[in-house]
A and B are shown apart, each in its own frame.
Chain A
Amino acid sequence: MPPFPKKWLIVLLVLGFVIPLLNPLLPDIVSSYRLFLVSTMIIAAIAVLGLNLLTGFNGQISLGHGAFYAVGAYTAAILMDQYDVPYYATLPIAAVVCFVVGYLFGQPALKLEGHYLALATFALALSVPQILKYKWLEGITGGVQGIVLSKPEPPFGLPLSEDQWLYYYCFVVMVVLFWISHNILNSRSGRAMMAIRDFPIAADTMGINLRLYKTVTFGISAAITGIAGALSASAIAFVAPDSFNIFLSIKFLIGLVVGGIGSLAGCVVGGIFYVLVDNSAQALSTFIKNDLGLQFDLSAYTVFGVLLIALMYMMPMGIVGGVHAAVRSLRGSKAPAPSERPAVAASKPAASRQGH
């Protein structure tokens, strides 16, 4: 997939930085609630980024990233609640804890390929809420009651509201993590990761240590998702086992598939998509029932599912892949038709030149 044009990236970053400052001027358009919503989208995008490194770039499928998200969230919550650690200091600790958990989980998981690995991670995601409730851990996890936290306050007396500050906090973390991921992917290690995904035997022959790369990728992936979890603990100011059910892992996977597997921009799109659709699915089902006069109830999940199927049918490479294909077909008849997906890699240099 062609890289995102730098010019646009800078424009987006500047906009992302300036728009929240308009909150006091345009309280209706840039409302606190919307800032909070965008913060949750950013957190989702980071979680999807973690999953994408593993699944999209390294070819290991995980149905259980909700587990690492939960570990990150609980690490942050316990540190803040029991040890009075400031909220920003919890991020690196959560990242380290999740890296270790992910690395260790990656060891036995090495023996599993494809959907066997997916099932193993699925089991992990299913067990996490139960482990959090376990009576020996109850003293620190708060059991089913969860842990109630305080929201982060703006430091140094900055004239920002809580929601503005939360937004900047998440935004900066996201930019840093995407920058790191971008650099990893464009390094020797990144190419090794993708070589393992595309042709493990060839990668092995070239001297890539499969075992090391796979487990370390698992660790990094878990660490990034764990950071998202830690951010969410600060944003929601409450953690409970019910927050980390299996649907959370499925949502990350949906965000990944919809946004675009193996694309960094796709992570952001995926994060925005699942928060947005999750929110509007119910409104849509009420609309269908009340305004279009459908006689039966359509659950929000049904709407969600129908949207997904339609999207997969129209944009099999996710939204980012679909947009690229659409742009190509608009720009000239010489470009390959969007249905010829293998051509994506071949057209890469041309498309990136056009982007500038």
Chain B
Amino acid sequence: MKTNRRTFVAGASAAALLTGKSVAFAQKKYSDGASDTEIKIGHTNPYSGPASAYGVIGKTIQAYWKSVNEAGGINGRKVNFITYDDGYSPPKTVELVRQLVEQDKVLCTFNTLGTPTNTAIHKYMNAKKVPQLFVATGASKWGDPQHFPWTMGYQPDYHTEAVIYAKHLLANVKDPKIGVLMQNDDYGKDYWEGMKDGLGKEISRVVKHVTYEVTDPTVESQIIQLKDSGANVFFNISTPKFAAQSMRKAGDIGWKPVIYLNNVSSSVASAMKPAGFENVQGVMTAQYLMDPTDKQWDSHPDMKLWVDWMKKSNPGASLQDASNVFAYSVSFLMHETLKKCGDNLTRENLMKQAANHQKLKVPLLLPGITVNTSPTDFYPIQAVQLSRFKGETWELFGEVMHAESS
């Protein structure tokens, strides 16, 4: 009894000592790029060049961190957000990211934009063990913690999205004959692979598969080919300009298939309106963010907050542009992740916290969609809701669908 008690006391005090020590040790741990006063985050974005339309994302993210700093920073530390223009050129991205990691000594990179550009730094970031967080591309390769434990995506990957379309059309369209229009690059192929996986044995339902190059002036001849194939389902994997052209052409030549449009082109302003509202009634897409043109969100607290924030901190930016919604939501996730790190701002802990979000509510995600990650799940958002175009806006229908990407 006595000895037991003594051992217990000794053990308890030892434990207390150890925990006390480890708490003291856990207080304030820093990797490169973090200190008592500052957190350095690196970023690359095409502000110039062929993909400069994405430049608004970088500007909104800059505005976000500025407003965070004005409100006192994160746990008392200011965010030093360093953003460079890579012009969507992979060699340039390599050079700039090396500058960020080796010269500027950032804690991590965040939301670097583009699939080829991120591919070029993928190996480097993982060799250097620097977090490459919430990259701005929907390719499915960013969620591979086994081989690339320092890289994480953000948006639902293209593959998952296409699987959802395939499942929906098999369940809802009678005797589907599918025509596919695809942009001939990795983004197009990721969707196409997803469609094939989703169709599985029904792959023979695809009667025609045509492609275009992003430099093509028009896709009209492709649409005529699709119509001639007798397809009654049109799976439209194209960026906004081509999405608008293709759906307008389909309307003009009297082809009335069931249209599944990839989320990339769901913008009312840049795709649906130029296609002509009369041509896009009933078009379906999958969404995960609130569309700023959708009237039903006007009174939603998230949207109100966002509009106020935009007016105050990001004046001059478009309130119609879904890119600004995207930038705000992904910045919020980064903000939350850094907050969770507390005073332990090491790269290891940052990755650990990024892979440790359970049902995190991120503003402007559709109701019912939350961010979930784990050490084996590096896809933060994997749920979407289908919506159908009606009148001049999207209308959500059905349930939020969760999909596990293969």
A299 on the interface (CB 8 Å rule)? yes
Q: Which residues of B contact A245 (CB under 8 A)?
A: 49-50, 89
Q: Cβ of B215 and Cβ of A130 under 8 Å apart?
A: yes
> Taking A247-B87, A282-B85 as contacts, is the C-beta distance between A238 and B94 under 8 angstroms?
yes
Which of A28-36, A190-198, A337-345 is the interface stretch? A28-36
A327 on the interface (CB 8 Å rule)? no
A53 on the interface (CB 8 Å rule)? no
Q: Cβ of A32 and Cβ of B185 under 8 Å apart?
A: no
Q: Cβ of B185 and Cβ of A133 under 8 Å apart?
A: yes
Q: Which residues of A contact B123 (CB under 8 A)?
A: 148, 237-238
Residues 130 to 166 of chain A near chain B (Cβ within 8 Å):
130, 133, 143-146, 148
Q: Which residues of A contact B116 (CB under 8 A)?
A: 144-146, 240, 242-243
B348 on the interface (CB 8 Å rule)? no
A237 CA to B95 CA, complexed, in Å: 12
A301 on the interface (CB 8 Å rule)? yes
Q: Which residues of B contact A232 (CB under 8 A)?
A: 91
Q: Cβ of A238 and Cβ of B98 under 8 Å apart?
A: no
A31 CA to B403 CA, complexed, in Å: 46
Q: Which residues of A contact B99 (CB under 8 A)?
A: 33, 279
Report A260 CB to chain B, min CB distance, Å.
25
Q: Which residues of A contact B117 (CB under 8 A)?
A: 242
Q: Which residues of B contact A145 (CB under 8 A)?
A: 116, 119, 186
Interface residues of A, CB < 8 Å — how many?
28
Report B45 CB to chain A, min CB distance, Å.
11
A33 CA to B101 CA, complexed, in Å: 9
Say what secondary structure dominates the interface of chain B. helix
B103 on the interface (CB 8 Å rule)? yes
Q: Cβ of B48 and Cβ of A33 under 8 Å apart?
A: no
A279 CA to B91 CA, complexed, in Å: 12
B379 on the interface (CB 8 Å rule)? no
Report B278 CB to chain A, min CB distance, Å.
35
Q: Which residues of B contact A148 (CB under 8 A)?
A: 119, 122-123
A180 on the interface (CB 8 Å rule)? no
Q: Cβ of A247 and Cβ of B49 under 8 Å apart?
A: yes
Q: Cβ of A238 and Cβ of B184 under 8 Å apart?
A: no
A79 on the interface (CB 8 Å rule)? no
Map CB proximity to B onto A222-249 as digits: 1 under 8 Å, 0 otherwise.
0000000000100011101011010100
Q: Which residues of B contact A282 (CB under 8 A)?
A: 47, 84-85
Report A286 CB to chain B, min CB distance, Å.
9
Report A75 CB to chain B, min CB distance, Å.
17
Report B391 CB to chain A, min CB distance, Å.
36
Q: Cβ of A32 and Cβ of B90 under 8 Å apart?
A: no
A37 on the interface (CB 8 Å rule)? yes
B213 on the interface (CB 8 Å rule)? yes
Q: Cβ of A240 and Cβ of B119 under 8 Å apart?
A: yes
Q: Cβ of B85 and Cβ of A33 under 8 Å apart?
A: no
Map CB proximity to B onto A249-287 as digits: 1 under 8 Å, 0 otherwise.
000000000000000000000000000001100100000
B102 on the interface (CB 8 Å rule)? yes
Report B318 CB to chain A, min CB distance, Å.
15
**One of A144, A237, A243, A278 near B186 (C-beta < 8 A):** A144
B234 on the interface (CB 8 Å rule)? no
Q: Which residues of A contact B49 (CB under 8 A)?
A: 245, 247
Q: Cβ of B98 and Cβ of A33 under 8 Å apart?
A: yes
> Taking A31-B102, A238-B119, A300-B85 as contacts, is the C-beta distance between A133 and B184 under 8 angstroms?
yes
Q: Cβ of A242 and Cβ of B88 under 8 Å apart?
A: yes
A37 CA to B116 CA, complexed, in Å: 21
A300 CA to B46 CA, complexed, in Å: 11
A145 CA to B186 CA, complexed, in Å: 6
**One of B90, B98, B124 near A242 (C-beta < 8 A):** B90
Residues 35 to 86 of chain A near chain B (Cβ within 8 Å):
36-37, 40
> Taking A144-B116, A242-B116 as contacts, is the C-beta distance between A299 and B91 under 8 angstroms?
no
Map CB proximity to A onto B4-28 as digits: 1 under 8 Å, 0 otherwise.
0000000000000000000000000
B269 on the interface (CB 8 Å rule)? no
Q: Which residues of A contact B122 (CB under 8 A)?
A: 148
Report A298 CB to chain B, min CB distance, Å.
11
Smallest Cβ-Cβ distance to A34: which chain B residue: B103
Report B83 CB to chain A, min CB distance, Å.
9
A37 CA to B94 CA, complexed, in Å: 11
A208 CA to B125 CA, complexed, in Å: 55
B120 on the interface (CB 8 Å rule)? yes
Q: Quick one: which of A143, A238, A299 has the most chain B CB within 10 A?
A: A238
Map CB proximity to A onto B115-136 as digits: 1 under 8 Å, 0 otherwise.
0110110111000000000000
**One of A37, A144, A301 near B48 (C-beta < 8 A):** A301
Q: Cβ of A240 and Cβ of B185 under 8 Å apart?
A: no
> Taking A33-B102, A237-B123 as contacts, is the C-beta distance between A243 and B215 under 8 angstroms?
no
Report B261 CB to chain A, min CB distance, Å.
21
Report A44 CB to chain B, min CB distance, Å.
11
A144 CA to B185 CA, complexed, in Å: 5
A145 CA to B116 CA, complexed, in Å: 7
A347 CA to B403 CA, complexed, in Å: 76
A133 CA to B48 CA, complexed, in Å: 23
**One of B90, B185, B186 near A238 (C-beta < 8 A):** B90
Q: Which residues of B contact A237 (CB under 8 A)?
A: 94, 123-124
Report B103 CB to chain A, min CB distance, Å.
5
A301 CA to B102 CA, complexed, in Å: 25
A143 CA to B185 CA, complexed, in Å: 8
A91 CA to B33 CA, complexed, in Å: 39
Q: Cβ of B48 and Cβ of A243 under 8 Å apart?
A: no
A residues lining the B interface (CB < 8 Å): 31-33, 36-37, 40, 130, 133, 143-146, 148, 232, 236-238, 240, 242-243, 245, 247, 278-279, 282, 299-301
Given contacts A37-B95, A133-B185, A237-B124, 7 further A-B contacts (CB under 8 A): A31-B102, A130-B215, A237-B123, A238-B119, A238-B123, A242-B90, A243-B89
The 27 sampled A-B contact pairs (Cβ below 8 Å) are A33-B98, A36-B98, A37-B95, A40-B91, A130-B213, A143-B186, A146-B90, A146-B119, A148-B119, A148-B123, A232-B91, A236-B91, A236-B120, A237-B123, A237-B124, A240-B90, A242-B89, A242-B90, A242-B116, A242-B117, A243-B116, A245-B50, A279-B99, A282-B84, A282-B85, A299-B47, A299-B48
Q: Which 10 pairs show the lowest CB-CB distances between chains A and B?
A: A33-B102, A144-B185, A238-B120, A240-B116, A242-B116, A236-B91, A144-B186, A243-B90, A282-B85, A236-B94
